[in-house]
Every structure is written in C-alpha cells, then in structure tokens.
Copies of this chain bind each other. A is one copy, B any other.
C-alpha cells in the first residue's frame, strides 16, 4: 500500500496559501511538538516557537537553503518531503538525508552558526515552518532540559555519519545490500517467499542516496538477483536470503 501523502506535480491548487497571515495553525504546532530536537520542551515553549514561526507553503522543487549561505535560520517540515544534498563540481548530486514531516531542516548548521554545509530542497509540495537560530537559543536558555534532547540528536547524527563514511568505502552492490537489509528490518512485511519491502522512492532517487547513478544501481540489483538474494518487481523487492544480504552489506566477500 503506497502512502501518497501529497498530490503529484500537477497540483497547483493548494500551495502558496498562507504566507503573511500568522493565525496559529494546528498542523504547525503539531509538527513542532513532534520534532525530536526538543521532545522534552514544555507545551508553553512549543507555543512560543509556533508563534515565532514563519510558515510557508511551497511547491515541489523549492530551494530551502543554499550551500554556503549564512546559517541564521532553520526550519521544521510540517508536511511534505525534502532532500539535503550536495552538488559536486561536475554537477553530480549526493543525497545526505531525506526529510519528512516533523524533521528539522538545517538545524545543525544554525547551531554551529557558520554557513550551510549543503543544499536543501523540497521533493514534494510542502509546508515549512521557519525559525531563527535566536529562537532556538532562547528555547535552550529557557528550558535547559532541551539541551539534552539536542545533544542526543547531534550525537546520533555524528555516529550515523561515521557509518555513512564507512559505507562509502564499500562497492555499490554491498551498499545496496546494506540498504535493503536495514529497510527490510524497518518496513518489511513477511510473505511465504520472503521479506517484502517497498523502496519508497524511485530507483533514480535511491541511486543518489547510495552515492551512485541509476545505471550502476540497476546493475547492482541484477547482481543481487543473480546471486539469488532478492527478487525485484518494480519498486517492490522480495528478500529471499536475509542473512546473505546482511553478510554482503557488512563487507564480507565470500560468495
């Protein structure tokens, strides 16, 4: 079952609605309340954040932050999806992160206070709540418990990043295997033939997330298929050999 939360690219009906008007929006408040950066914050603090937020409804493909610009604000995704990425000199794109409702955008950069280290743009129509870094600092000052939430989030990010760097040292089939293994654990559904997973994105996008291009990803899928590890049907994949997948993704090379 596909969860199409937002309409396709042909939707020009709903966006660019409330830009200047600041009536407290329930969806904004809910998104801020759910944000993991300040899980321990009081409701009053969330209300204050909501009041200071500047909410924008934007179309698919809108640029949220530009790499290199001064990081004086950040955002929380109220609805829609976004992508954090970097463009190499040759124009190739590396996707760092895919963000969903409730996720913070560029919050680390705002904390660090330098410049945005990457680009961010929406990949669906989205609602975005902008906050200033001062608002974040005020929140920390008002409620020191929030600092703990931020610390755990940042520490986890650092750990994840080391894992990303390690993964980049593997070849593409191994990276794909690792991804499929993790995703199978997260959203896999049991079937008589094996674990079935939905990729949740077009393969071209997955290729970018794995740091490669569609052609090579396609060959990697073919290799996993030939090795009897998976079956591929469009963007649904049936995992036939979970432990074989895990072994390949962990960097073994036995065959």
A residues sitting closer than 8 Å to B (CB atoms) are 86, 88-90, 92, 94, 96, 108-109, 111-114, 117-118, 140, 144, 147-148, 150-152, 154-159, 161-166, 168-170, 211, 250-253
Contact = CB atoms under 8 A, between A and B. Distances in A.
Given A150-B151, A151-B154, A88 B140 contact: no
A20 B94 CA distance: 50
Contact of A161 (B114, B151, B155, B165): B165
Main secondary structure of the interface of A (DSSP, over half): helix
A198 to B, nearest CB: 27
A163 B109 CA distance: 12
A252 B154 CA distance: 32
Given A111-B152, A112-B156, A148-B140, A162 B117 contact: yes
A96 B154 contact: no
Contact of A169 (B88, B108, B144, B162): B88
A65 to B, nearest CB: 13
